[in-house]
Amino acid sequence: MSKYVGILTAGGDSPGLNAAIRGVGKAAQGTYGMQVIGFRDGFRGLMQNRTVRLSGGELSGILTLGGTILGTSRDKPHKMPVGSQTMDMTEVIVDTYNRHSLDALVCLGGGGTQKNAYHLQQHGLNVITLPKTIDNDVAMTDLTFGFDTALGIATEAIDRLHSTAHSHHRIIVVEVMGHNAGWLALGAGIAGGADVILLPEIDYDIGVVAEAINRRRRRGSGFSIVAVSEGAFSVDDRAKYKKARKRLKKAETEEAREKAAAKLAGVQSHLQDKTLHLSRQLEQLTGLVSRVTILGHLQRGGTPSAADRLLATRLGTACAGLINDGVFGVMVAARGNKTEAVPLEDVVGKRKTVPLDHDWIQTARDIGVCLGDG
């Protein structure tokens, strides 16, 4: 009897999603004789039963496309905005799953999607996930698809900014995505020849950064490139943030809580512009003009790289094989040149950050890159 498989993409868009959809769909249908349908716009489309049949025609020509043909959203099954309310729509999603007589639901996404899929598994659904994110921070997998493409885009941006930095003798501060993990900033910074790389994993001392730039100027280099992850903290900002949170936690009266909450909100507001604040500080401490380039969602778009297409296709076809074998409740992880089915319970609630003893960290130090810590 033919098996029925549903696919959705959730969270932020990422290069390689369409390649993964294609890999799952073509292998499931062509190799294992399954029927495949897609749900539009993530878990919201699953809740609303908005589907598209993923036959050969729908899977044709999508390998090189960025984004996702299914659309995506960040909605959670158990915290779904419905009108003016936030509701638990888990049972509605379970009903949709059963209505289509699905044997499996494939969820493509990052850390949040792994959690949401695990939630559905605990409510009786057969789920399998594939790890995607440009941040490369999903636990228990060597790589996530989307990372290689974003790495190339960020590297090319740093390459292009070298010429204007050199011509005008400026500091160019390039903000790269990565809230809690510095893989993208570190990789692009090394590959693009950045002079300073600031990561979420290493709080930086602004004085150390300024001195590194001044030292370059004394040696005859009148410009510097600073690659900074959006999640990087200065030592001072981290201390202020921790102090504000601690004050709110210890507040005993309503008045004290209100004051502490207002203080924390002020710190958080400042942190939203911390890359611009970094640029202004460097101007003051070095006497050089500093300019900021925030790459933002530019890193998510465009044609996926060959490496991301290959990785997404490998993971997708492996996923179809696991469904055929009746293996569920797992994430399909990349392990060297192979794939591995990792239980979702081992993935959720974890994040893969850059280890301080990682080879990339040591490589950066060995070529004289300042990481802000001395």
Q: What single string gives the DSSP state of each residue in 178-203?
A: -SS--HHHHHHHHHHT-SEEEBTTBP
| Residue 141 CB neighbours (<10 A) | 22
Q: Is the pLDDT of residue 1 over 70?
A: no
Instruction: Kindly give the pairing relationship between strand 330-335 and strand 224-229.
Output: unpaired
pTM for this model (two decimals): 0.92
CB of 38 closer than 8 Å to CB of 72: no
Pairing mode, strands 51-53 and 85-87:
unpaired
Q: Which domains does the chain have, with CATH numbers?
A: 4-146+304-346 (3.40.50.450), 150-300 (3.40.50.460)
* pLDDT above 90 as % of the chain: 78
Buried b (16+ CB within 10 A) or exposed e, 292-304: bbebeeebbebeb
Rounded to the nearest angstrom, the gap between the alpha carbon of residue 332 and the centroid of all alpha carbons in its chain is: 17
Residue 103 pLDDT grade (very low, low, confident, very high; cuts 50, 70, 90): very high
**Tell me, what's the pLDDT at 368?**
95
Between CA 319 and CA 200 the distance in angstroms is 32
Phi, psi of 269 (to 5 degrees): -65, -40
Active site residue 103: no
Select which of 41, 75, 103, 135 is catalytic: 135
What single-letter DSSP state applies at residue 204? B
Q: Decide if pLDDT at 360 tops 80.
A: yes
Alpha helices by DSSP H, listed for 219-343, are 235-250, 254-272, 274-286, 306-324
Give the tens place of pLDDT for each residue, 325-341.
999 999 999 999 999 99
DSSP string covering 234-264: BHHHHHHHHHHHHHHHH--SHHHHHHHHHHH
Is-contact 106 21, C-beta < 8 A?
no
pLDDT of residue 235: 92
Task: Return mean pLDDT, the chain.
Answer: 93
> Among 42-46, 109-113, 235-239, where is mean pLDDT lowest?
235-239
Residues 368, 374: Cα–Cα separation, whole Å: 11
| Average pLDDT of span 94-105 | 96
3-state secondary structure of 300: helix
**pLDDT tier at 169 (50, 70, 90 boundaries)?**
confident
- Distance of alpha carbon 176 from alpha carbon 162, whole angstroms: 16
| Percent of the chain's residues with pLDDT above 70 | 100
Tens digit of pLDDT for each residue in 106-145?
Answer: 999 999 999 999 999 999 999 999 999 999 999 999 999 9
DSSP string, 64-118: T--S-TT-----BTTBEEETTEEE--HHHHHHHHHHTT-SEEEEEESHHHHHHHH
304's tokens: 């996926």
Query: Which pLDDT band holds residue 154 (cuts at 50, 70, 90)?
Result: very high
88 neighbors 80 (Cβ within 8 angstroms) = yes
